Amino acid sequence: MTSKQTHTSRDCDEFQRQLPELFDSEQELVAHAHLQSCQNCSALVRDLEYIAAQAKLLLPIHDPSPAVWDNIQHALIRETKDGTKTS
């Protein structure tokens, strides 16, 4: 516990209960009084923001196997034939 921390565990519980909603309002979150005094909850918020930021950088990196396109082509040919038969 640092000298900066004057909160109680109940404060932390209450703050963390509000977090899902607070994350929707960055201004409200940043200005929240509890964050000014609680190092642990500040670290928690930083981590969760960091995870969200990193997730946005996840790029599509996997390619489907060539069999997927082959199957699509076969299915399209089948659909075309079925369409021709019924028309």
Angstrom CA distances, 87 to 2, 80, 81, 82, 84, stand at 79, 10, 10, 9, 5
If the CB atoms of residues 33 and 50 are measured against another protein, the closer one turns out to be: 50
* Residue 40, amino acid: N
Q: According to CB under 8 A, which one of 4, 30, 69, 82 is a site residue for another protein?
A: 69
76 binding another protein? (CB under 8 A): yes
Residue 86 within binding range of another protein, rule CB under 8 A: no
Positions in the binding site for another protein (CB under 8 A): 9, 12-13, 16-17, 19-21, 23-24, 39-40, 43-44, 46-48, 50-52, 54-65, 67-69, 71-72, 75-76, 79
